[in-house]
Amino acid sequence: MSTRQPRSGFLVTWCVALIVGLALSVVAGHAREPSRIEVTTATGRHPLTIEWASTPSERERGLMGRKTLPEGHGMLFDFGDEEPVYFWMKNTPLSLDMIFIKADGTTSRIEKRTTPFSEALIPGGAPVRYVLELVGGSADRIGLRPGDHFAIPAR
Protein backbone atom coordinates (compact mmCIF):
# COMPACT_ATOMS: atom_id res chain seq x y z
CA MET A 1 0.00 0.00 0.00
CA SER A 2 1.40 3.37 -1.00
CA THR A 3 1.37 6.34 1.37
CA ARG A 4 1.83 8.80 -1.46
CA GLN A 5 -0.84 11.40 -2.02
CA PRO A 6 -2.22 11.32 -5.57
CA ARG A 7 -0.59 13.99 -7.73
CA SER A 8 -3.90 15.81 -8.28
CA GLY A 9 -4.47 15.97 -4.49
CA PHE A 10 -1.01 17.41 -3.98
CA LEU A 11 -1.64 20.06 -6.63
CA VAL A 12 -4.97 21.07 -5.07
CA THR A 13 -3.41 21.27 -1.58
CA TRP A 14 -0.50 23.34 -2.91
CA CYS A 15 -2.83 25.77 -4.75
CA VAL A 16 -5.05 26.24 -1.69
CA ALA A 17 -2.00 26.89 0.51
CA LEU A 18 -0.65 29.42 -2.02
CA ILE A 19 -3.98 31.29 -2.23
CA VAL A 20 -4.39 31.39 1.57
CA GLY A 21 -0.78 32.55 1.99
CA LEU A 22 -1.20 35.34 -0.55
CA ALA A 23 -4.47 36.47 1.01
CA LEU A 24 -2.91 36.58 4.48
CA SER A 25 0.12 38.51 3.25
CA VAL A 26 -2.11 41.09 1.57
CA VAL A 27 -4.20 41.56 4.73
CA ALA A 28 -1.19 41.58 7.07
CA GLY A 29 0.90 43.78 4.81
CA HIS A 30 -1.75 46.40 4.07
CA ALA A 31 -0.95 48.56 7.09
CA ARG A 32 2.78 48.53 6.35
CA GLU A 33 2.47 49.07 2.59
CA PRO A 34 4.64 52.11 1.82
CA SER A 35 3.07 55.24 0.35
CA ARG A 36 4.48 58.50 -0.92
CA ILE A 37 3.80 61.93 0.52
CA GLU A 38 5.43 65.25 -0.25
CA VAL A 39 6.28 68.32 1.81
CA THR A 40 7.03 71.76 0.43
CA THR A 41 9.56 73.83 2.39
CA ALA A 42 11.63 76.93 1.64
CA THR A 43 14.23 74.58 0.13
CA GLY A 44 11.75 72.98 -2.32
CA ARG A 45 9.61 69.88 -2.60
CA HIS A 46 10.68 66.77 -0.73
CA PRO A 47 9.09 63.38 -1.47
CA LEU A 48 8.98 60.95 1.46
CA THR A 49 8.18 57.25 1.64
CA ILE A 50 5.98 56.46 4.61
CA GLU A 51 4.35 53.56 6.38
CA TRP A 52 0.87 54.21 7.72
CA ALA A 53 -0.08 53.72 11.36
CA SER A 54 -3.86 54.13 11.29
CA THR A 55 -5.28 51.60 13.73
CA PRO A 56 -4.86 51.83 17.50
CA SER A 57 -2.53 48.80 17.54
CA GLU A 58 -0.40 50.18 14.68
CA ARG A 59 -0.14 53.56 16.41
CA GLU A 60 0.73 51.90 19.72
CA ARG A 61 3.54 49.87 18.13
CA GLY A 62 4.84 52.67 15.91
CA LEU A 63 8.58 52.40 15.34
CA MET A 64 9.29 50.61 18.62
CA GLY A 65 12.20 48.22 18.30
CA ARG A 66 13.36 49.57 14.93
CA LYS A 67 17.12 49.99 14.84
CA THR A 68 17.34 51.58 11.40
CA LEU A 69 15.21 53.79 9.20
CA PRO A 70 16.46 55.02 5.82
CA GLU A 71 16.69 58.74 5.08
CA GLY A 72 13.52 59.95 3.41
CA HIS A 73 11.44 57.19 5.04
CA GLY A 74 9.13 57.47 8.02
CA MET A 75 5.92 56.49 9.72
CA LEU A 76 2.76 58.57 9.44
CA PHE A 77 0.31 58.23 12.32
CA ASP A 78 -3.24 59.06 11.23
CA PHE A 79 -5.72 59.75 14.03
CA GLY A 80 -8.67 60.31 11.65
CA ASP A 81 -9.60 63.67 13.20
CA GLU A 82 -7.69 66.46 14.87
CA GLU A 83 -7.11 65.72 18.55
CA PRO A 84 -4.53 66.41 21.27
CA VAL A 85 -1.72 63.84 21.05
CA TYR A 86 1.25 62.85 23.20
CA PHE A 87 4.11 60.58 22.18
CA TRP A 88 7.07 58.99 23.93
CA MET A 89 10.16 57.09 22.90
CA LYS A 90 9.79 54.04 25.15
CA ASN A 91 11.30 50.96 23.43
CA THR A 92 12.42 53.08 20.45
CA PRO A 93 16.19 52.92 19.85
CA LEU A 94 16.22 55.59 17.12
CA SER A 95 16.39 59.34 17.60
CA LEU A 96 13.45 60.75 15.66
CA ASP A 97 12.05 64.03 14.44
CA MET A 98 8.33 64.15 15.22
CA ILE A 99 6.32 66.43 12.95
CA PHE A 100 2.82 67.32 14.16
CA ILE A 101 0.51 68.04 11.21
CA LYS A 102 -2.99 69.54 11.03
CA ALA A 103 -5.77 67.91 8.98
CA ASP A 104 -5.13 70.37 6.12
CA GLY A 105 -1.47 69.26 5.89
CA THR A 106 0.03 72.28 7.68
CA THR A 107 2.98 71.59 9.97
CA SER A 108 1.98 72.67 13.45
CA ARG A 109 4.99 71.71 15.57
CA ILE A 110 8.32 69.87 15.25
CA GLU A 111 10.07 67.96 18.02
CA LYS A 112 13.64 67.45 16.80
CA ARG A 113 16.05 64.67 17.67
CA THR A 114 14.08 62.88 20.36
CA THR A 115 15.92 60.89 23.03
CA PRO A 116 15.85 57.12 22.39
CA PHE A 117 14.09 55.02 25.05
CA SER A 118 12.84 58.12 26.90
CA GLU A 119 9.51 57.87 28.71
CA ALA A 120 9.10 61.65 28.81
CA LEU A 121 5.87 62.75 27.14
CA ILE A 122 6.20 64.74 23.92
CA PRO A 123 3.11 66.92 23.45
CA GLY A 124 1.72 67.73 20.04
CA GLY A 125 0.75 71.22 21.16
CA ALA A 126 -2.41 72.11 19.25
CA PRO A 127 -4.76 69.28 18.19
CA VAL A 128 -3.43 67.49 15.07
CA ARG A 129 -4.59 64.73 12.75
CA TYR A 130 -1.16 63.36 11.79
CA VAL A 131 2.24 62.79 13.34
CA LEU A 132 5.14 61.98 11.04
CA GLU A 133 8.23 60.31 12.49
CA LEU A 134 11.47 60.63 10.53
CA VAL A 135 15.10 59.90 11.39
CA GLY A 136 16.45 62.56 13.76
CA GLY A 137 17.91 65.48 11.80
CA SER A 138 15.60 65.04 8.80
CA ALA A 139 13.61 68.21 9.54
CA ASP A 140 16.79 70.31 9.49
CA ARG A 141 18.07 68.51 6.38
CA ILE A 142 14.98 69.49 4.34
CA GLY A 143 14.52 72.89 6.00
CA LEU A 144 11.16 71.98 7.55
CA ARG A 145 9.48 74.70 9.61
CA PRO A 146 6.05 75.16 11.23
CA GLY A 147 3.63 76.35 8.56
CA ASP A 148 5.17 74.18 5.80
CA HIS A 149 2.65 72.07 3.93
CA PHE A 150 2.41 68.29 3.41
CA ALA A 151 0.46 66.73 0.54
CA ILE A 152 -1.05 63.62 2.16
CA PRO A 153 -3.27 61.38 0.02
CA ALA A 154 -6.65 60.33 1.35
CA ARG A 155 -6.78 56.75 2.59
Q: Tens digit of pLDDT for each residue in 95-124?
A: 999 999 999 999 999 999 999 999 999 999
Q: How far apart are CA 74 and CA 154, in angstroms?
A: 17
| Residue 15: pLDDT over 60 | no
Nearest Cα to 131, choosing from 62, 66, 73, 78? Answer: 78
pLDDT, one tens digit per residue, over 49-58 is 999 999 999 9
Query: What b/e readout covers 72-97, taking b as 16+ CB neighbours within 10 angstroms?
Result: ebbbbbbbeebeebebebeebebebb
Please report the pLDDT score of residue 69 as a whole number: 94
CB 54 within 8 A of CB 31: yes
* Higher pLDDT pick, 4 / 73: 73
Q: pTM for the full model?
A: 0.79
